[in-house]
Structure 1
Amino acid sequence: MTYSDAAQRRGKRERLATAAAQVLHEQGMEKTTIADIARAADVPVGNVYYYFKTKDQLVEAAIDAHAHTLADMISTLDALPTPQDRLKALLAGWVEQRELTARYGCPTGSLASELDKRDDGLDRTLAKVMRVLLDWAEQQFLAMGRAADARELAVALIASYQGISLLTNTFRDPDLMASEARRLSHWIDSLT
């Protein structure tokens, strides 16, 4: 296999993983078929089985895509000068996605809720991804000098996001996300 063959294979696999994350978010686990994912990735359905033998393997790839997206986001946020700036930029990113959240909910939270109903361990795999964000938020509060309650503050921040994502989706009201982000921004300011 040549380098370009390997790159092309990796390209299709990554497209399928990204498409799986998108389609699972938009349609949910039960409604999503391998054919739906293949169509979204612009890959012939027969080729999917070369990369992924089962729908569960595609779900694992979607979880991996969530992990990569989160890692990229954290890398971008970490370039900001202060922990307050980083936390507020996280909020701004959530607000940018408010229309999508209003239609489908939080991509990771919705998938976590669906995987929790299964007994295959994929829920724990996704929990590791969510823990990365929680740990990162805790580090920001530690950097703000909140050693005594950094973990609790991180949990409160992530729980607020998950809660407002659910409400934004339930009421199909993206303005809820924006107003909660403003409240959380003031809350972050009040902690210093």
Structure 2
Amino acid sequence: MSQKERIDKLLLARGFADSRAKAQALVMAGVVLVGEKRVDKASETFAADAVIRIKGDSPETKYVGRGGLKLERALADFDIDPSGYNCLDVGSSTGGFTDCLLQHGAVSVVAVDAGTNQLVWRLRTDERVDVRENTNARELKPDDFTAPFDLIVMDVSFISATKILAALVPLLTPTSLRMPTPETMLAQLWLRASTTILTAA
């Protein structure tokens, strides 16, 4: 029998909330469903692999992490439609960016992170997602992948993005750079958003 956990802990572990308090707030709002049955108490326990769904389209619950909202805004600002794209998510963490890309039509996402066991289960088991954990993004090479990427997104906190960029440029499709040099491209992107995005022209 699967070990049971409190629903607020499960919500936090799967990325539906970024704190126990927010997980409990979701339960109190009556939007947490397990097996299509509403959960009324944050202390209720369920199997670790229980099917959990958040009903409604609140911005806070649209993606598995709030990073998804940040990327959604960046995609709109840059006028980027990832539909049909093969994407790379560097610093994937719980998967907010990955979730956003998939919901906007990306056909595949390689989720790279230096850590482990952070990507939420729903994305980890999605056949469109290739999970690459314990991976140093600075060591990525084109031969590590079956095809170049149309779009690369990055959200890193423990290392400067400039130290990773040089390794990412060769991973893009030949016609993907919008600007003549990586340095110019990065400078322009930082002026327009807090997220670094490389994309197809």
Normalising to structure 1: TM-score of the pair?
0.29
Task: Give the number of the structure with larger relative contact order, counting CA–CA contacts within 8 Å between residues 6 or more apart.
Answer: 1
More strand by share: 2
